[in-house]
Each structure stands twice: as C-alpha cells, then as structure tokens.
Structure 1
Amino acid sequence: MTENVGRRRTAVITGAASRRGIGRALAERLASAGWGLGLLDIDAEVEKAAAALRAEHGVPAVGAVADIADPDSVHAAVCAFEAELPPVAALVNGAGVSSPVPFLEADLATWERVMRTNATGTFVVSRRIVPNMAERGYGRVVSLGSTAMQNGGGTYSKSVYAASKGAIEAFSRALALEVAPRGVTVNVVAPATIDTDIMGGRITDDRKPAFLAQLPVGRLGTTHDVAALIEFLLGEEAGYITGATYNINGGLRIG
C-alpha cells in the first residue's frame, strides 16, 4: 500500500543530505517504493542527493537548501516542491543537531542553537506543510525524538539536547490531537545509539565498546533500522496510529 500511495504523493524529509544520516536512508527506501521526494537540508549536498535518487529510481525528487528554523527559507523550499512534485502526503522532521555539553558547562547560546534547530525547526516546517495536509484530508507526520528525552540524557548528548527532543514529543502529541479529525496522523520515532554523524562522528572501533555495553541486543542501530520503522508509519496501514512514540533503541530503555 505504501508503494501505491507513493506513486501519486510526495514525502518531504528534512535533514536528508548526509550520506550517513537517517534522512538519506529513508529517502533511498521511499524512492525504491516510488514516492516523490522533497529533500530539505542546510547542506547543498541535498541537491546532489535528489539528483541521484531521480537517476537511480526514476522518481520525481527535488532537493532544496534551507534553514528549517527560518520561515521564509522553508516557504521558498516547499513552494519549489509544490511546483514540481505530486501533493505532499508525508512529512518527516529528521533534521537536528546534537549537544554533548553538560548542563554545568552549557550557556544560553548552546541552548538557543539546539532548541532553534530541533524544536523551532520542527514547528516551522510542520506549520508550513501540515495545514495543506489537513485541507486535503490526508497526511502522515513523523518527527525524530530520542531516548535521551526519556532517560534524562543520551549516550552522547546531554540535557539541552534532551530538552529539545522533549519539546518535539510534547508538540507532536498535541498536534496529533488537533489534526486527527482532518485525516492527519502525527507520531514520533525515538532512536538511541544509531551510528550517524550526530553521535559526534563515526562510532569507530575504539568508541564502540562503551556504546555496546549499554545495548542488550549487542549491536549498534543502523539508519536502515530507523528508516524501516518510519516508512511503516508513513503508510496508509498506519492510519489508526497517532500521538504515539515508537522506541527503537536496542533495549537501552525498556517500557
């Protein structure tokens, strides 16, 4: 069913430029299922990513450079998507920044940088896209949370990052209630210990033991693990799921 939806509709993914990121892995997965793609990132590499997906999968894909916390920048990017792609049926708020700075060393600039990208960026992009979904009577929104919010800090990032992800989860639950009658679902996927650049760079062999010691499954998570879960939540079959948080953390947090 996801394939059928994708052939006539578009998914917008923020944070899709990094070759090692969840957004890029998801874009590859959705492209293989025939989705149109609007890829948004502050890194110009996003335009090359879209071009590669067009060439490999033959799907409509547009990459746009934008600051997700700047409404004008986001508006211009989404206008480009709307002009060239099928109607937007799915939004994945994947862009984010980490913060390994402990609270006692953090300053206001650290707080504002992380909150601006993670929390404000999620609001700004959602505010631009979700109203059109509600008007059409169909939509899927998935935002990336984190086990760090639930555990009071992550395996890498600390309190400021946890707070920003807590804001995303609270916002998502409230938004889910507001737009459910309009056919739009809103959910959160909360990963832990995924080998991406947000973990302070690649988790090399010398760093790996400290992370593995916390994971009952005995391995690091991959971007493909997370992308598979998000793809399910974007599908028509997930229409009875909203306001939920899906943990994908290798057993780091149970319950």
Structure 2
Amino acid sequence: MKRIALVTGGMGGLGEAVCIKLAGMGYQVVTTFSPGNTSAEQWMTSMRVLGFDFRAYQCNVADYESARECIRNIHREIGPVDVLVNNAGITRDMTFKKMDKTNWDAVMSTNLDSVFNMTKPVCDGMVERGWGRIVNISSVNGQKGAFGQTNYAAAKAGMHGFTKALALEVARKGVTVNTISPGYIGTKMVMAIDKEVLEAKIIPQIPMGRLGRPEEIAGLVAYLASEEAAFLTGANIAINGGQHMS
C-alpha cells in the first residue's frame, strides 16, 4: 500500500514541485487549497494530463477546525498521512512602523499557526504506526531577518522552534521533524518582487548569482521524506545559494 504524503499549499510554485517529486518516489500525494481558490479543479486536471493523480482538499490551514476536518476527510477517503510538508505561506510586507495588527495576524496564522493546525491531527497516528516524516518549510529570512518582514521573519523563525521541540518528543517513535530554510526561489511570490529590486538588491547578495529552482528545494524535501533520512531530525537545513551561512 502506498504511503500518503500531504503537501499544504501544493498548487503552483514550490508546493507543486514538491508534489511532483514525492509522486515520483511512489507516494500517494494529497494537497490543500484555500477556500477562495477557484482554480483547484483546473489544476488537478492539468496535473492528470501530465500523468499525476493528485488529490486536493479545501482547507483553511490557519483555522484549526478546518484543518482537522481536512485531515479527517483524507483519512476516511484515502488513508492516514505518513508525510506532512507544511508549505503553505503568505507575505504581507511593510515596515514595522506601518504594520497593523491585521497584517501581523494574517501572516502569523497562515505561516505559523498552520504548522500546529496541520501537524496536531496527524502526529499521534505517525507515532502509533512507528513511522512518519514532518517537513516544515521556513525561509532564509527566518534565520537572518529581512527589512519589512517582522511578521514573516517571526513566523518562519517560530517554525524551527516548533521543529526542534517536537523532534525531541517523537524521536524514539520513528518520526522525524525537520525544517528547510530556502533562500530566494524563482516562484510566483518572488517573481512578483519589482524586477529592479530583484536584480539590483537581491540577486547580488546570492554568491551563486541566481535564484534557486523549485525542483532543488523539492529534492531536499524528498530526501527528508525518505527511509535514508531516518537518523536526521530537529535540523534546519539552509538551501540559499550561499546567501546566509550559519
């Protein structure tokens, strides 16, 4: 029986690359889409044309009850989740002087609360079965900070604190918990940055002189989801082209 991998925010960009990579490893891949997403069916159809039988479930990852209901539906219709990739995230960039509580809360709930919301309903089952992989997608800006991103940097840094603590609790049960901190990747979110800012301020900070590719991050997720990664837990792996070394 195929193991089941759940990737939050898997439609497009990094999440889509992760879905494709995990499917290639033999996982039954499931993803989530937000309640306001009207193109989910179109995305699944396009993936089927490419030969990928992905399942998608509507879920507001920032809402605990919505996350629980999503996991219940997946368990009932497909089976228990063996690999969880907490990838869903948003930005609401502005200086702290201009930031209001609404934009702080939106980023914290979607980027950090969601990690609890999605992990809580699947973790006990992984422990009981004696096998599981939890991969949290953080950011280089959670490690080094970024101008105009107090909300985003705080949420992404918090993800790794969660990773380390949970990794200690489940280490003897065959469940690993790890963080990946990508640098600037050529996704829709990054490409939305003003081209002049991207070329004049961001890329020159990257020793490799380019943006990362979603497939490169997906390859690292795939390793962490594999049998070979069984001895790796509680880690925060930077993959940023040398932009930030810690």
* TM-score, normalization by structure 1: 0.88
* Matched residue, 2:208: 217
- The yes-or-no answer on 1:242 pairing with 2:233 is yes
* SS of equivalent to 2:244: coil
Deviation larger for 32-41 or 227-236: 32-41
Q: What whole-Å deviation, never above 9, does each CA across 1:180-220 have from its counterpart, x for those lacking one?
A: 12111000000111122333626747733422110101111
Q: Please point out which of 131, 142, 165 is paired with 2:135.
A: 142
Q: Distance in 1 between matches of 2:241 and 2:104?
A: 28
Contact 2:80–2:125, Cα closer than 8 Å, also in 1: no
- The yes-or-no answer on 1:192 pairing with 2:183 is yes
* SS of equivalent to 2:176: strand
The alpha carbon displacement at 1:33 in A equals 2.6
Q: Distance in 2 between matches of 1:223 and 1:184?
A: 25
- The yes-or-no answer on 1:91 pairing with 2:84 is yes
* Matched residue, 1:208: 199
Q: In the alignment, residue 174 of structure 1 is paired with which amino acid?
A: A
The alpha carbon displacement at 1:153 in A equals 1.7
* SS of equivalent to 2:91: coil
Q: What whole-Å deviation, never above 9, does each CA across 1:51-104 have from its counterpart, x for those lacking one?
A: 444453364x31011100212211222222222324321000000011321112
- The yes-or-no answer on 1:114 pairing with 2:107 is yes
Q: Distance in 1 between matches of 2:44 and 2:73?
A: 13
Contact 1:188–1:243, Cα closer than 8 Å, also in 2: yes
Q: Distance in 2 between matches of 1:134 and 1:45?
A: 35
* Matched residue, 2:26: 34
* Matched residue, 2:217: 226
Decide whether aligned partners of structure 1 residues 196 and 202 sit closer, same or farther in structure 2, where only a CA change above 3 A counts: farther
Q: Distance in 1 between matches of 2:46 and 2:191?
A: 27
* TM-score, normalization by structure 2: 0.91
Q: Root-mean-square deviation (CA), in Å?
A: 2.0
Deviation larger for 105-114 or 185-194: 105-114
Q: Please point out which of 168, 172, 182 is paired with 1:181.
A: 172
Decide whether aligned partners of structure 1 residues 46 and 138 sit closer, same or farther in structure 2, where only a CA change above 3 A counts: farther
Q: Distance in 2 between matches of 1:63 and 1:110?
A: 27
Q: Distance in 2 between matches of 1:49 and 1:209?
A: 34
Q: In the alignment, residue 8 of structure 1 is paired with which amino acid?
A: K
Q: Distance in 2 between matches of 1:148 and 1:199?
A: 13
* Matched residue, 1:3: none
How high is the sequence identity, in percent, across the aligned residues? 33
Q: Distance in 1 between matches of 2:236 and 2:129?
A: 25
- The yes-or-no answer on 1:71 pairing with 2:64 is yes
Decide whether aligned partners of structure 1 residues 203 and 16 sit closer, same or farther in structure 2, where only a CA change above 3 A counts: farther
Between the two proteins, the alignment pairs up a number of residues equal to: 244
* Matched residue, 1:133: 126
What residue ranges of structure 2 are gaps of 5+ in the alignment? none
Q: In the alignment, residue 23 of structure 2 is paired with which amino acid?
A: A
Where in structure 1 do 4 or more consecutive aligned residues deviate above 6 Å? none
* SS of equivalent to 1:247: strand
The alpha carbon displacement at 1:36 in A equals 0.2
* SS of equivalent to 1:125: helix
Q: In the alignment, residue 178 of structure 1 is paired with which amino acid?
A: E
* Matched residue, 2:2: 8
